[in-house]
Amino acid sequence: MDAMMTSSEKVAYLKGLMDGLKLDENDDTAKVLRSVIDILGDLAQDIDEISELYDDLADQVDEIDQDLSIVEDDLYDDEEDDLDDDFDEDAEYYEVVCPKCGDEICVSEDVLLEGGVECPVCGESLEFDFSTLTKENIEEND
Ligand SMILES: [Zn+2]
């Protein structure tokens, strides 16, 4: 029997062999054999149908997966573009709250390490106190 045959084709082949035996159809053993082959045929048909449905479903999932990848790529591309507009993506930025106007400003690590910057909103000279601004705080503000 060919391994590439479907289950239905294998049962049909078996049925052909059975017919070739020219058994007495009134013989009980022949009746049992024919019943078994009939049941096998039904089962094989069900399996073939399920296999087809499964293949269709797998194809659809593949298509959905591909579509989703495209959507994801678009989405993350957009996010990266937005970041590029405002920031140098290689530099690290930290949020600092101005004590005078309360505005949040983003400063780069370089500016932070210099120890101070002017608030772009109110002009207040901000100084960073490294005794309170620990490494841990910097990471939290990242
Ligand atoms: Zn300010």
For residue 57, what pLDDT is reported?
97
How far does residue 95's CA lie from ligand 1's centre (Å)? 13
At residue 31 the predicted structure's pLDDT band, cuts being 50, 70 and 90, is very high
How far does residue 45's CA lie from ligand 1's centre (Å)? 76
How far does residue 11's CA lie from ligand 1's centre (Å)? 83
Q: Taking 60 as the threshold, does the pLDDT of residue 142 lie above it?
A: no
- The Cα-based distances of 30 to 22, 33, 49, 77, 87 in angstroms read 10, 5, 29, 69, 83
How far does residue 138's CA lie from ligand 1's centre (Å)? 19
For residue 132, what pLDDT is reported?
54
Higher pLDDT, 34 or 81: 34
Q: How far apart are CA 26 and CA 22, in angstroms?
A: 12
* pLDDT tens-digit readout, 44-67: 999 989 999 999 999 999 999 999
pTM for this predicted structure: 0.43
At residue 93, φ and ψ (nearest 5 deg) are -120, 150
Q: Break the chain into its structural domains and give their ranges.
A: 7-86, 93-141
How far does residue 137's CA lie from ligand 1's centre (Å)? 20
At residue 135 the predicted structure's pLDDT band, cuts being 50, 70 and 90, is low
Tokens at 94, concatenated: 């930290």
For residue 128, what pLDDT is reported?
74
How far does residue 34's CA lie from ligand 1's centre (Å)? 92
How far does residue 96's CA lie from ligand 1's centre (Å)? 10
**Which among 63, 123, 72 has a CA at the least distance from the CA of 98?**
123
Higher pLDDT, 127 or 88: 127
